[in-house]
Structure 1
Amino acid sequence: MTNLYGAWLTDTIAADAPSSCGIAVDSNNRAHINYVDPATNKLKYITNVSGNWITSTIDNALAASAGQITTDSNNKAHIAFKSVESSASIRYATDSSGSWVTETIESVWTEPGDMRVDSNNNVYVIFLNNGIYLATNESGAWVSSYIPGSSDGPFRDIAIDSDNNVHGVDYDVNNYVVQYASNISGVWITDSADYISLGASVYMQQMSVDVDSNSKAHIVYSYWDDESLSNPNEIVYISNNSGSWETEKIFYSCSGLFSCFGSYSLPNFSSSIDPNNKIHYIDSYSTYTTNALKISRLAAGYEHTLFIKPDRTLWVWGHNDYGQLGDGTTTDRLSAVQIGSDSDWTAISAGWKHTVALKEDGTLWAWGYNEYAQLGDGTTTDRHSPVQIGTDTDWAAISAGGAHNLALKADGSLWAWGLNGKGQVGDATTTKRLSPVRIGGDIDWAVISAGYEHSAALKSDLSTVLTWGWNMYGQIGDGSTTDRYSPAEIDYAPAADFTGSPTSGTAPLTVNFTNTTTGGVAPLSYEWDFENDGVTDSTTENPSHVYTGGGTYTVKLTVTDSNGIANSLAKTDYITVNICLSPVRIAGTTPVYYSILQDAYNAAVDGDVIQSRNASFTEDIDFNRGISVSLEGGYDCNYSTITGKTTLNGNMTINDKALSIKNFTWICQ
């Protein structure tokens, strides 16, 4: 799959699904792929040459995994993989000489952990063997060395800086430490980058290291805390830009936009450094994060603003007549002030004159105007500073509306509270709710947004949208202006479309139409107007129509879904129908047309040219008038081009002084 041309393109490159595979792209944008053939357990290699996928077997030894693949400055592939032919070993393969050459790096049972190539095309591979070892072929032969301080932890990664120094990272499972090591001029220097204070309950899931242009390390790791069930999954970023290690949590899988749907749900991820030394991160929840922007959460209400800094402190400013800023007063603030000293805020949302927020531990907080119970604390008393709403610790996302709120929990359930006069809470009533109530029983809600007096939410398929609440101006999008008291799925209007074949030809012309409409709620109904005259000619989904008259025709299709929402498409001058002239004529400035050859001959005078279309005639002809005429057959409909021959089925009697015949086929009867 590639988005080389701005859209994702896919191609099947192997008939069977491989048990493991890897990919690298060289400087010519050519893909290099290695995989284990499930039928033979042999390691194979695929690359695209001149638009064709070429496959070769790398090694005849049995391969346990595809391992690692990378390319060098000469666009040659380098692969490290685990072989289990006779005894397990880590092997190396390259096609730098034009054919595959394999070597044994080390006889161990483990997989290669990571693989890099420096600017001199030297290869570096790390593997586990009672500690982490780095193997390199810099001297022409493979040499392995132990990385001091490394442990048996399975999560390890390396990076090469611009001076070809190696930087590595692993997790010390005995001391619960993220361990960093760098080899500067041949000497290993180790450091504890981050201590995971949760201890033995932590399960490290993934780890990566990148090095910027200043040779500073940037580490991203993820872990699962088996005992902290309220907020178990986190992804952490560490850097030593300032000379000492600084830690920042960039993802809370149970208190961010996306929910944790069960245990061990932390996403896979990858990170990279851009030319400006900013870290970019992408995970399998399709969440993209970068520290090129330094404000992590921002919210604007009716007359107040809030943001959460990267250090997770909360800052506010603006109008404060009901305590919506949360600083314990009702004094307006013309510049940003910090709310308390807590540094564990993770999400913020501002309503009309109230605020809701989440903390790192999954707790829900609110403050400000509360006449309509929008704070959710069971009262209608205004709050001038943050108060915790209930005791639950599994809140995942929030959205504040005019005087109501929506929230998601970690299990994907939807909750709401506050003003409900228009049904904006979504519990099928118009009763205001003083505390959060669950909306329905679904657990696949993914995104929420609260409007002034209506609500919208997106399901986890990222295509199903539901809305409810006030609908005077059609904001619910259901084709009406009726308020909705519970979530209703948005009916996307059908997008009428069709094709016809053929779209031009000679009458009588039969055109087959194919409906290609998308959207709408099934079943759909169809109204075809083949001549755009306001008359419905067919209600079949894929009809045919015969055009007998010449000219151009506009075709219109109207599609209506099961909810009565209709959409029409008219294709102007879509069908062109040609009418053929009579099959025989006497040529001249003003041709005279006939239906049979004998009639044309009977009307001809000496020297006339009789022309006929590329058609078939069944008649007996008697050329007996003693005149000179020429017969020219095989013309098209308009007598502009000879496209074939005229066929005569019958007897021909010739008794003229001169008769010339061209492009005729005579089948004597």
Structure 2
Amino acid sequence: MKEVTIVCLVIVVGLIIMTLSVNRLQKNAVIVDNNAEEFSTAYPNQRKLAKTSDGVLHLVYHRADSNGILQIYHAVSKDQGKNWSVEQVTHESADQCFPSIAIDSDNNLHLVWIEGWPSKPGIVPYVYYRKRTREGWQPRELVAAYATYPSIAVDSHNNVHVVYGTYVYSPGYYGGGNGVRWRTKTSNGWQIEETISSDRLWARYPAIAIDSQDNVHVAWSHSTRYRYYDLHYRRKTVSGWEEEIEISRDSDSTSSIPSIAIDNNDHVHIVWHQQENASYAYATDGYWSIRHRVYTDSWQPVEVVAGPIKYSQLYPTIAIDGKNNIHIVWYGKHPISHSFYQIRSRTYQNSWKPIQEITLLLHDQINPSLMWAFYPLINGVKTNQPKEGYAFVWIDGTTIKYQSSEISQP
């Protein structure tokens, strides 16, 4: 009886400590927009949050306009995320959704997004690009057709790199497109599109990062099988595209949408969630985990950052800070919150620290997106890396929230 009492007391004390920690973190959260929807900040292959060299934060996302049509919106904070102003970027008659942002060394914003909800049948989804200079938003430019979930990055010369995947509509039919494609815009304009994935039908959700040598790194979701998705990766150097590498594959599991970042040693980090032993495609049973893999001088073994557990762990996003610490944020359920998704995180600082519960609320908290980019590099400072810590946005019901860790003021 005494042992049971002691165990119960330990559990209660643990819950109190966790609740106090979560409450402290939640107090730092700031409301950006109350009129969002669940996918406004999805998915982890895209970057939604960026910062210009003057310290101004920029967030891009989609939400419905007064007519119920999804449009692209741009939120700005000039006081380190405490207050935000919002502008509508697109005013189209068709849905505009899933934007991604990058910023160059001249503080120009580079934006890509999809026209057409990418899982609806009978449409042609397009990827568009738009640039914002000191004079304002420039006219939009067509990048590709039958293209979905674009991701964007800039290199040291302010060249723009865009990757995007095929069109697959519900419940999983090929709709068009030629695999994962890469296209770049230089001072001479848009260059010819290149297909970089071996699979031309199901490859999508590409994530992109650029390293200190301007090598291009792309990871994506790949499936030539009916049920299971794997992650593939490819690098482009001055010599061209290297061989395609399989990052994750298991006979009875699904590896999801990747997020990618480059550390200060040019090591490549990729994270994803993995589901094992599911009873059927798209089932929510089985075992879930958050996984990480790094390329140093070769690909290192896969690390399990969280799990495997029977509670869903979903869509991790990764960032590296100025001290080369690794930050992973995702959403998932756990024994204390088995009915609602919560925002969770884990940091590598010489070793993996314990999982941190960022939220603990009685409704779902989903689709986090961390700020990170290798470029621009201005006077030796990577302006889109917090000095130490992290900054991110996520969805709380129909509200977009922003938060930075206490030491990260971006």
TM-score by structure 2 length? 0.60
Query: Partner of 1:115 in structure 2?
Result: 152
Distance in structure 1 (CA, Å) of the matches to 2:301 and 2:308: 21
Distance in structure 2 (CA, Å) of the matches to 1:130 and 1:75: 33
Aligned partner (choices 78, 81, 96) of residue 133 of structure 2: 96
Q: Where does 1:63-82 land on structure 2 (aligned, <5 Å)?
A: 63-82=95-114
Query: Partner of 1:603 in structure 2?
Result: none
Q: Where does 1:19-98 land on structure 2 (aligned, <5 Å)?
A: 20=40, 22-34=48-60, 35-40=62-67, 41=69, 42-48=71-77, 53=85, 55-60=87-92, 62-84=94-116, 88-96=125-133, 98=135
SS in structure 1 of the partner of residue 214 of structure 2: coil
SS in structure 1 of the partner of residue 194 of structure 2: strand
Query: Partner of 1:157 in structure 2?
Result: 207
Aligned partner (choices 275, 286, 290) of residue 347 of structure 2: 290
Counterparts in 2 of 1:76 and 1:239: CA distance versus 1, 3 Å? same
Query: Partner of 1:196 in structure 2?
Result: 249
Query: Partner of 2:13 in structure 1?
Result: none
- Cα deviation for residue 295 of structure 1 reads 6.9
1:131 equivalent to 2:179? Answer: yes
1:272 equivalent to 2:319? Answer: yes
- Cα deviation for residue 74 of structure 1 reads 2.5
The answer to whether the 8 Å contact 1:177/1:192 transfers is: no
Query: Could you tell me which amino acid in structure 1 is paired with residue 265 of structure 2?
Result: N
Distance in structure 2 (CA, Å) of the matches to 1:52 and 1:227: 42
The answer to whether the 8 Å contact 2:278/2:286 transfers is: no
Count of residue pairs brought into register by the alignment: 287
Distance in structure 2 (CA, Å) of the matches to 1:12 and 1:248: 34
The answer to whether the 8 Å contact 2:230/2:255 transfers is: no
- Cα deviation for residue 296 of structure 1 reads 7.3
Counterparts in 2 of 1:74 and 1:52: CA distance versus 1, 3 Å? same
Superposed CA offset, 1:323-359 (max 9, x none): xxxxxxxxxxxxxxxxxxxxxxxxxxxxxxxxxxxxx
Q: Where does 1:166-177 land on structure 2 (aligned, <5 Å)?
A: 166-174=216-224, 177=230
The answer to whether the 8 Å contact 2:75/2:84 transfers is: no
Query: Could you tell me which amino acid in structure 1 is paired with residue 219 of structure 2?
Result: V
Query: Partner of 1:211 in structure 2?
Result: 262
Query: Partner of 1:240 in structure 2?
Result: 295
The answer to whether the 8 Å contact 2:52/2:107 transfers is: yes
The answer to whether the 8 Å contact 1:37/1:44 transfers is: no
The answer to whether the 8 Å contact 1:126/1:133 transfers is: yes
Superposed CA offset, 1:358-387 (max 9, x none): xxxxxxxxxxxxxxxxxxxxxxxxxxxxxx
Distance in structure 1 (CA, Å) of the matches to 2:36 and 2:164: 26
Q: Where does 1:318-337 land on structure 2 (aligned, <5 Å)?
A: none
Distance in structure 2 (CA, Å) of the matches to 1:93 and 1:221: 29
Superposed CA offset, 1:1-28 (max 9, x none): xxxxx952534656x4357354433333
TM-score by structure 1 length? 0.38
Query: Could you tell me which amino acid in structure 1 is paired with residue 208 of structure 2?
Result: I
- Cα deviation for residue 118 of structure 1 reads 1.9
The answer to whether the 8 Å contact 1:45/1:58 transfers is: no
Counterparts in 2 of 1:96 and 1:63: CA distance versus 1, 3 Å? farther
1:181 equivalent to 2:238? Answer: no
Distance in structure 1 (CA, Å) of the matches to 2:59 and 2:352: 39
- Cα deviation for residue 107 of structure 1 reads 3.8
- Cα deviation for residue 177 of structure 1 reads 4.4
Counterparts in 2 of 1:230 and 1:64: CA distance versus 1, 3 Å? closer
Query: Could you tell me which amino acid in structure 1 is paired with residue 130 of structure 2?
Result: A
The answer to whether the 8 Å contact 1:169/1:181 transfers is: yes
Q: Where does 1:128-527 land on structure 2 (aligned, <5 Å)?
A: 128=165, 129-143=177-191, 144-149=193-198, 152-174=202-224, 177-198=230-251, 201-227=252-278, 232-254=287-309, 260=311, 265-284=312-331, 285-294=342-351
Percentage of identical aligned residues: 19
Q: Which runs of 5+ in 2 are unaligned?
A: 1-25, 42-47, 118-122, 166-176, 332-341, 363-410
Distance in structure 1 (CA, Å) of the matches to 2:129 and 2:136: 14
Query: Could you tell me which amino acid in structure 1 is paired with residue 186 of structure 2?
Result: E
Aligned partner (choices 12, 17, 20) of residue 36 of structure 2: 17
SS in structure 2 of the partner of residue 102 of structure 1: coil
- Cα deviation for residue 136 of structure 1 reads 1.2
RMSD over equivalenced CA pairs, Å? 3.6
Distance in structure 2 (CA, Å) of the matches to 1:230 and 1:7: 33
- Cα deviation for residue 87 of structure 1 reads 5.5
Q: Which runs of 5+ in 1 are unaligned?
A: 1-5, 298-446, 448-459, 463-669
Counterparts in 2 of 1:55 and 1:195: CA distance versus 1, 3 Å? closer
Superposed CA offset, 1:248-277 (max 9, x none): 2121141xxxx61xxxx2233211123454
> Which protein has greater RCO, CA pairs closer than 8 Å, 6+ apart?
2
The answer to whether the 8 Å contact 1:17/1:38 transfers is: no
- Cα deviation for residue 461 of structure 1 reads 5.8
- Cα deviation for residue 178 of structure 1 reads 2.7
